[in-house]
A and B are shown apart, each in its own frame.
Chain A
Amino acid sequence: MQNYVTLTIDGAPVRASRADSVLDVAIEYGICIPHLCHVPTISDLGACRLCIVEHVQNGRSKVTTSCTLRVQEDMVIRTNTDKIRKLRRNIAELLVAEAPNSRAVQDIALRCGVKQVRYPFRNKTCTLCGRCVRLCAELWGARAIGFVGRGKDRRVDFPFGVRPDFCKECNSCIDLCPMTITPCDGPMKTGEERLCGKCEGQLLMNENFPDFCVWCALGEGFGCARHA
Chain B
Amino acid sequence: MIITSLLQVKHRDHTGLHMRELTMSVKSLDVIVEGRRSQPQQLIEVLQDVQDLCGYIPRESMITVSKELGVPLIEVYRVASFYKAFSLVPSGKHVITVCLGTACHVRGARRMVDQVAGQLGVSPGGTTSDGLFTVECVNCLGACALGPVVVLDGVYYDKMTPRKLSRLIDSVRAADSEGRANA
Q: Taking each of B73, B74, B75, which has the highest tally of chain A beta carbons within 10 Å of its own beta carbon?
A: B74
Smallest Cβ-Cβ distance to B77: which chain A residue: A159
Contact in complex: A159, B74 (CB < 8 Å):
yes
Partner of B78, one of A144, A148, A164: A148
Smallest Cβ-Cβ distance to A149: which chain B residue: B81
Closest 7 CB pairs of A and B: A146-B74, A143-B72, A159-B77, A159-B73, A148-B81, A150-B82, A149-B81
User: Does A119 have its Cβ within 8 Å of any Cβ on chain B?
Assistant: no
Contact in complex: A145, B82 (CB < 8 Å):
no
**Minimal beta-carbon separation of B68 from chain A (angstroms):** 16
**Minimal beta-carbon separation of B43 from chain A (angstroms):** 14
Smallest Cβ-Cβ distance to A147: which chain B residue: B78
Distance of A144 Cα from B78 Cα, bound (Å): 12
Chain A residues with Cβ under 8 A from B75's Cβ? 143, 146
Task: Report B's interface with A, CB cutoff 8 A.
Answer: 59, 62, 72-78, 81-83
Distance of A153 Cα from B82 Cα, bound (Å): 9
Distance of A143 Cα from B62 Cα, bound (Å): 15
A159-B73, A164-B73 known; A146 vs B59 contact (CB < 8 Å)? no
Chain A residues with Cβ under 8 A from B81's Cβ? 148-150, 153
Distance of A140 Cα from B159 Cα, bound (Å): 56
- Pull 21 A–B residue pairs with CB atoms less than 8 Å apart, ordered by A: A143-B72, A143-B73, A143-B74, A144-B74, A145-B74, A146-B74, A146-B78, A148-B74, A148-B77, A148-B78, A148-B81, A148-B82, A149-B81, A149-B82, A150-B81, A153-B81, A159-B62, A159-B76, A160-B59, A160-B77, A164-B73
Contact in complex: B74, A158 (CB < 8 Å):
yes
Chain B residues with Cβ under 8 A from A153's Cβ? 81
**Minimal beta-carbon separation of A144 from chain B (angstroms):** 7
Distance of A19 Cα from B76 Cα, bound (Å): 32
**Minimal beta-carbon separation of B70 from chain A (angstroms):** 12
Smallest Cβ-Cβ distance to B73: which chain A residue: A159
Smallest Cβ-Cβ distance to A164: which chain B residue: B73
Chain A residues with Cβ under 8 A from B76's Cβ? 159
Distance of A62 Cα from B125 Cα, bound (Å): 41
Distance of A149 Cα from B81 Cα, bound (Å): 5
Smallest Cβ-Cβ distance to A158: which chain B residue: B74
What sequence of 0s and 1s flags, for each residue 131-148 of chain A, a beta carbon within 8 Å of any chain B beta carbon? Answer: 000000000000111111
Chain B residues with Cβ under 8 A from A143's Cβ? 72-75
Chain B residues with Cβ under 8 A from A144's Cβ? 74
Distance of A222 Cα from B75 Cα, bound (Å): 27
Chain B residues with Cβ under 8 A from A160's Cβ? 59, 62, 77
A79-99: which have CB < 8 Å to B? none
Distance of A80 Cα from B5 Cα, bound (Å): 63
Smallest Cβ-Cβ distance to B74: which chain A residue: A146
